[in-house]
Each structure stands twice: as C-alpha cells, then as structure tokens.
Structure 1
Amino acid sequence: MPTCDYADCGAEGEKVSRLSPEGFLVATGEKAYSFREAYRRFHYCKEHHDELMKNVWNRVRSEDDKDDGHIAPTAI
C-alpha cells in the first residue's frame, strides 16, 4: 500500500483523495475524458485525511476574502 502523501509521514495511505495536502485539486496535465483522469490522486493515513477534510471545510466556510470576484479553490 502507498504511504501517506503528507510531508514526513510514513504511515500507510489507506485513504485516497483528489485533494493535495494543501487542499486543492491538481491537474494531471494530460488529456482527460473524466474527473478521475483529470486530477492527480493522493494517499493519506486516516489522521491526515481527517485533518485535510477539516482544513478544507474550514476554508470553504470562512467568510474571509470572499466577494463577487472570489474564484473557486479548484480554479487555482
């Protein structure tokens, strides 16, 4: 089984996510016909996956720096 993609974590990456450790989708850079092909996969241990989900949820719910010109985090 692959190891967790969080820096300095050697635990088994039992959870698979399309979100990077920074909480963004990362394009594969290849021609893709589906979401699965378009974005890179990351592996996380349970602890870091839970932390990632908490951080993403907090960022999405936060009202800081959001106005009409705010872009989706997936657009970066």
Structure 2
Amino acid sequence: MNNQEQKIFTATQQEPLFLKTKEVMERYRIRSSATLWKWRKELDFPAPIHNGRFYNIQALEKWDEKQLSS
C-alpha cells in the first residue's frame, strides 16, 4: 500500500462506537473496575452495556463534557 492509499484508508475508517471495559480504564487512567462501579454510583458515570463489557463512546463523551462544565 503506497502513502496515498494509506491516507485514503485511514480517512475512511470509522471511529468505534463502543469501548471495552479495559479501554475505558486506560482512557481514564484507573486500575480497578471497582472504581468504575464507584463512579457510576457517586458521579453518574455511564453504565456499561452488552453484558457489562462495553461502554458507549457517545455517553462517555457527554460525561466528559459534564465534568468539564462543573
């Protein structure tokens, strides 16, 4: 794949709609899934979906915005 093809391929890739729990923990730099549970109870953090394994990225971004505006 040449450089031009790589640019087109990269530009057409879609952003993921969901993150795995491990990816969410990396995003927020936390080490324990218990922290996510605590954040859901105390900070209105978005709940996971699909057997508790995935988080909706749009919900996470809305939560991020809410935290910045507080």
In the superposition, the TM-score normalised over structure 1's length comes to 0.22
Higher helix content, 1 or 2: 2
**Larger Cα Rg: Structure 1 or Structure 2?**
2
